[in-house]
Every structure is written in structure tokens, then in C-alpha cells.
């Protein structure tokens, strides 16, 4: 969740770290801090709140190295006192840490008994004092390595030594990337934060350590030197530019038509309807039951994708929340386990993937981040073509995950493709349909205002519409801080009716088909309880004299309807959040990359 950063060899380490931390804020923004060594003293600057609170400062004379951290609180409240970096009792060592230490209470108590003083309530600070107790005549890399066996839990660790200015990094079950350029080295939680400054990056493996000093970057596994694959870095400033939009979220919503075109290009052909993923997934014949796993929006994408697939072809597929998986499911009759993660670093999803691998199940990752942890763990990888997503709330990556998962399942069932001409045409038309929604979304302003004034809303859907409702409810929670509950439309009479009032709007998702009339009847029953009703549908006639507002989508086919409706909800949640004055791209208490369980 937290973001850590270290640099050695820069002439302006404070400015560089501060700038890079702003690109790490999606990992947490409860507090932040910087530590700079001039080899005489470690200068520390910490604030509660986002990186903007770290003011621009004159560079410290003689300083060439430093650490930075942006925090998502796990142990200890959000405050300047609990902000990283932390120092040992002599201010000779500074550390930054991302992860969770399981045995920190025992470690802290024993350190207190030995006379150490703590400045925070966090688990991370024990690292500084443990290293302080290591043998001072050892080299920095040896000092850090000597204490790692004492801690249990996960860590991406950066350590700064005052007297030499060298930096040591260590990784166990939390991502850590090493970057290099002609003048020095970097360590960071994410390539994105250091991409403007480095030529190549190396992804550390569990048990690896890195030394950043005057000779460059040296890698170790435990106490033995090791080499790891280096990857070139490309940096496109346009990806982090808001391109005239007020917020990244809205920019990313507007990018979705292009993302769909990118997702289909080279994979789907209209003539002789064909889906071909062989270039990306060579030698992958699979028959049998498929399971898809994810957390948050990734789970919702998996559930929606699984529901779409079940409507299109005869394929058994089930969706599961990674943090709540059934071990028996992963060891019984699953032929393929698919893992969705925007960041490729979601802790619960990575843990479930490891269980699937140990059970001998074929695994595939669908992610938006090349070379992320999930790509190195899974047997196969299908990369989303969404591009960098800055806003904490998922939009284009959700759409990309749905498209890619559906394409995967259809490709694995090639015998059925010839009967899916309408679906393939629908995919190609979808980007134009989304463009039309974007052209007219300002007309939804009154609906968004109604929603923004509510403290609680309900979103109902049946079958295909239910996972759409789940993702919609998450968007209203994340962006607009509105309690939103997704309910299967047939279940709303079983208890939820007791909560309906004139101040609890209900949004009904009604797709034409066998059970369309059931949703129409449910809407009538809701209106009889005096609750405002908004309907999103591809067939508006039955609701025109019943609902308070109707938003129409163009497609009646599963994938088109689903993603058009999902975009409408993204826009409604955005406008409701604007009306309430919420911080769109950085919602309180959240982080985009959930790297702790």
C-alpha cells in the first residue's frame, strides 16, 4: 500500500524524491516524508497528509542520497509522528518500509527493554533499531541482511546510512524495483515513479537485497551476489498529463473507447469471425472449468466477465474474491485459474495464485502492469492495453479486464466462435457507443445531483446486471462517499424494502430479455414505497411513466450493454462526487495498489 523511494548519486535528491513521491501517491497519502544524508547528518522532513505538504526546499550542500515514503496507515494512525522515514536512536540510520510485520510487538517490547526509544506507533520503526544493534564493523549490506531473519511478515525496505550515504534495499513479499542511470541508482515501489530518471529497471525477487553506492548498483540474494534481468524503461509524459481534464478519473473514462479499440486490435477479426490470442498465449490448450479471482473492481470485472461468457457459450466459469477463496475449489476440478489485478501486486490475489500453482492448476494473469509480481508468478500473462491509470478509482482498467477475460474464454472455445458473429460485431461497435455516451453525459447532471443529496442508495440488477450493480456501488462509495448497496432485484423485497423512503434513491438496471418484466414489476413496487427510481436500460418504453429518470443504452447484447451501463455509472459517480466536493483521484483512506492483506 505505501510507496517507498531511494536515490543515490543525484545532485538534487530532495527535489527528485519529492517529485517522485507525487507519482507514488496512489499507493497511499495519509502522510509522507523525506530523509536526506549529507554524510554528516540525516535531515528529516515529515508531514501528515499528501506530498503537497512537503514544501520546496533548497538542496542540502554535499547531499547525494536520500529516502522518501508516502503512507497508507496500517499500524498507527495517520500523523506526522507516524510518517516515515524513521531513524535509530543515534540518527545514524533512516528506514522506509512498505508491508506488514507480524511479530513487531514482540520485537518492539524487547527493543524497549534494551533501552531503545521509539518515536512512533508503527511496526516499521523496529527495522531502524534492529539495524542499529547489528555489528557496526559490518558492511551496510551485511548489517541489513543480518537482521532480516528476525522479522516475520512482508517488507519492501529502504535503509539509508548517514556516514557513507549508501542505500540498501531488501524485498520479501512486497514489490521493490531497482533503477539505474549513468550517474547512480534508485529503489522504488513502482517503475512509474522513477521512469523519468532511469534507463533500466530490475525487479527484485523475494530474498533479494540491493546496494546503491558510488560503484553503482550491486544485487545479492541473502549474502551471495546475484544477477537479475534488466528491463529498458520508456517514459511518456503524456500518460501523466491530465490533457485538459480536471481530474485523471474523467480523462481515463474518456479514454475507454480508444482502450476498447486497442484491446481488439490484432486479436479480433470481423471477417470470418475470429479471436486469436496465440501470439500472447502460446501453447495454451485448456478444456474444463475456469475460475477467475480478483479483489474490488477486479473481482467485479471477473464476475461480469464470467456472467457474459455463460450467456454466450457453454463454458463453466466461476468468479471468486481472492481474499475469500475456497482452498478445496483450487485443488479439486479447476482446469484454469485466471487472476485479475490492475497493479499486478494485489497481495490477496498473489497469495491465491500461489495456492493454485502449488495445486498444479494452470494459471494466467490478466494485468495492466508488465513485469509486475503477478506476471512473474503466473504461467501465462495477458496484458491489458489500458495504459497507465492514475486515479485510485478504476475505470478503463475495469473495462479492459472485462474485455480481455471474455476474449480469453471465447478463444479457448474456438468451436463456438462461428456462432458469435453478433457479439464480435457488438465489440467493434462498442467504442462508438461509448463515444456517444461521452458526447451526451452532461445531460445526466440532474440525476447525479439527486444521487449526491442522498446518504444511501440502492442499485438493483438481475443476472448480467448484478455485477454491473456491484461495480457501480463501489464507484459511488469510492468517489462520492455515498453508501451504495448492490442488490439482486428479486431480493430487494426480502428486507431492504424496510429502508426505502423518499430520500433513498434506487437505480434499476434493466436489460431486455426473459426477466425484463420482472424488473419492471419491481420498479413499480419500489415507486409504491415513494422511493425515487432511476432506470438504466436498453428498452425504455415500460419505464417512461413509472421511473423518475431513464438513461438508455444502445446495445442489447451482453458485452455492449454491460460496458455501456458501467460507463454511465462511472460518469454518474463522478458528477455526484463533484457536486459533493470530494477529492476525485485520491479518495480518503484508499490506495490503488493493495499490497498488504
Distances from the Cα of 33 to the Cαs of 18, 49, 164, in angstroms? 9, 10, 21
Within a 10 A sphere around the Cβ of 40, how many other Cβ atoms?
Answer: 12
Name beta bridge partners: 160.
94, 167
How many whole angstroms separate alpha carbon 459 and alpha carbon 566?
12
How many whole angstroms separate alpha carbon 41 and alpha carbon 36?
8
SS3 143: helix
**Residue 94 CB partners (closer than 8 Å, separation 6+):** 35, 37, 42, 44, 67, 85, 86, 87, 128, 159, 160, 162
Cα torsion at 444, 445, 451, 454 (round to 10°)?
-160
- The residue behind cell 530523509 is 35
Name beta bridge partners: 211.
168, 218
- Written as nine digits, the cell of 300 is 467485479
Which of 46, 362, 511, 592 is catalytic? The answer is 592
How many whole angstroms separate alpha carbon 82 and alpha carbon 30?
10
Within a 10 A sphere around the Cβ of 52, how many other Cβ atoms?
Answer: 12
**Catalytic (active site) residue 2:** yes
**Any long-range contacts for 517-524 (C-beta under 8 Å, 24+ apart)?**
517/542, 518/462, 518/489, 518/490, 519/460, 519/462, 519/465, 519/489, 520/546, 522/460, 522/489, 522/490, 522/492, 522/493, 523/547
**Catalytic (active site) residue 332:** no
SS3 191: helix
How many whole angstroms separate alpha carbon 183 and alpha carbon 7?
10
Which of 2, 7, 32, 409 is catalytic? The answer is 2
- Written as nine digits, the cell of 211 is 546496494
How many whole angstroms separate alpha carbon 1 and alpha carbon 596?
6
**Residue 88 CB partners (closer than 8 Å, separation 6+):** 128, 129, 131, 132
How many whole angstroms separate alpha carbon 98 and alpha carbon 362?
30
Provide φ and ψ at 439, rounded to 5°: -65, -25
DSSP state of 378: S
Catalytic residues: 2, 592
Amino acid at each position: 500500500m505505501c510507496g517507498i523511494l531511494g536515490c543515490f548519486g543525484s545532485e538534487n535528491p530532495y527535489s527528485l524524491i519529492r517529485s517522485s513521491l507525487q507519482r507514488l501517491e496512489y499507493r497511499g497519502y495519509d502522510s509522507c516524508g523525506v530523509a536526506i544524508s549529507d554524510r554528516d547528518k540525516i535531515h528529516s522532513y515529515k508531514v501528515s497528509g499528501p506530498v503537497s505538504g512537503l514544501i520546496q526546499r533548497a538542496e542540502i550542500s554535499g547531499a547525494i542520497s536520500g529516502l522518501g515514503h508516502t503512507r497508507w496507515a496500517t499500524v498507527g494512525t495517520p500523523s506526522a509522528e507516524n510518517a516515515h522515514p524513521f531513524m535509530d536512536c543515534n540518527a545514524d540510520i533512516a528506514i522506509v518500509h512498505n508491508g506488514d510485520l507480524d511479530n513487531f510487538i514482540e520485537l518492539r517490547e524487547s527493543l524497549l527493554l534494551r533501552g531503545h526509544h521509539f518515536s512512533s506507533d508503527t511496526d516499521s520503526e523496529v527495522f531502524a533499531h534492529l539495524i542499529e544493534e547489528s555489528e557496526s564493523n559490518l558492511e551496510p549490506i551485511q548489517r541489513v541482511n543480518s537482521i532480516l531473519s528476525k522479522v516475520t511478515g512482508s517488507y519492501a525496505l529502504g535503509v539509508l546510512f548517514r556516514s557513507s550515504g549508501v542505500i540498501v534495499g531488501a524485498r520479501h513479499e512486497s514489490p521493490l524495483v531497482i533503477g539505474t542511470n549513468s550517474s547512480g541508482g534508485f529503489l522504488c515501489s513502482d517503475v512509474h515513479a522513477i521512469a523519468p530518471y532511469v534507463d533500466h529497471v530490475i525487479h527484485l525477487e523475494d530474498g533479494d537485497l540491493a546496494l546503491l553506492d558510488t560503484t553503482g548498483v550491486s544485487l545479492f540474494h541473502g549474502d551471495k551476489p546475484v544477477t537479475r534481468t534488466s528491463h529498458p524503461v520508456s517514459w511518456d509524459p503524456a500518460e501523466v498529463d491530465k490533457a485538459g481534464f480536471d481530474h485523471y478519473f474523467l480523462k481515463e473514462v474518456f479514454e475507454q473507447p480508444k482502450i476498447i479499440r486497442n484491446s481488439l486490435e490484432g486479436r479480433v477479426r470481423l471477417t470470418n469471425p475470429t479471436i486469436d490470442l496465440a501470439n500472447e498465449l502460446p501453447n495454451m490448450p485448456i478444456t474444463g472449468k475456469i475460475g477467475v479471482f480478483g479483489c474490488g473492481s477486479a473481482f467485479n470485472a471477473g464476475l461480469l466477465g464470467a456472467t457474459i461468457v455463460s450467456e454466450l457459450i457453454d463454458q463453466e466459469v466461476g468468479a471468486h474474491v481472492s481474499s475469500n477463496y475456497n482452498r478445496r475449489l483450487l485443488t479439486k476440478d479447476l482446469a484454469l485459474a485466471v487472476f485479475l489485478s490492475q497493479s499486478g501486486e494485489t497481495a490477496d490475489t498473489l497469495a491465491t495464485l500461489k495456492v493454485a500453482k502449488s495445486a498444479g492448476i494452470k494459471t494466467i494473469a490478466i494485468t495492466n502492469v508488465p513485469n509486475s509480481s503477478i506476471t512473474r508468478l503466473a504461467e501465462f500473462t495477458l496484458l491489458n492495453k489500458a495504459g497507465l491509470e492514475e486515479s485510485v478509482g478504476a475505470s478503463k482498467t475495469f473495462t479492459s479486464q472485462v474485455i480481455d477475460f471474455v476474449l480469453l474464454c471465447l478463444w479457448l472455445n474456438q468451436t463456438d466462435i462461428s456462432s458469435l458473429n453478433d457479439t464480435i460485431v457488438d465489440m467493434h461497435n462498442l467504442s462508438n457507443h461509448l463515444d456517444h455516451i461521452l458526447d451526451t453525459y452532461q445531460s445526466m447532471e440532474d440525476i447525479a445531483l439527486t444521487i449526491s443529496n442522498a446518504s444511501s442508495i440502492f442499485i438493483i440488477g438481475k443476472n448480467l446486471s448484478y455485477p454491473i450493480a456491484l461495480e457501480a456501488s463501489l464507484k459511488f462509495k469510492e468517489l462520492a462517499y455515498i453508501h451504495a448497496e448492490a442488490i439482486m432485484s428479486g431480493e430487494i423485497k426480502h428486507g431492504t424494502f424496510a429502508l426505502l423512503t423518499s430520500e433513498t434513491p434506487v437505480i434499476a438496471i434493466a436489460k431486455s430479455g426473459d426477466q425484463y418484466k420482472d424488473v419492471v414489476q419491481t420498479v413499480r413496487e419500489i415507486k409504491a414505497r415513494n422511493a425515487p427510481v432511476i432506470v438504466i436500460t436498453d428498452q425504455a418504453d415500460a419505464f417512461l411513466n413509472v421511473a423518475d429518470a431513464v438513461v438508455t443504452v444502445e446495445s442489447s447484447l451482453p458485452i455492449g450493454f454491460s460496458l455501456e451501463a458501467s460507463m454511465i455509472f462511472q460518469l454518474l459517480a463522478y458528477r455526484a462526487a463533484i457536486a459533493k466536493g470530494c477529492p476525485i483521484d485520491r479518495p480518503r483512506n484508499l490506495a490503488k495498489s493493495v499490497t498488504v492483506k
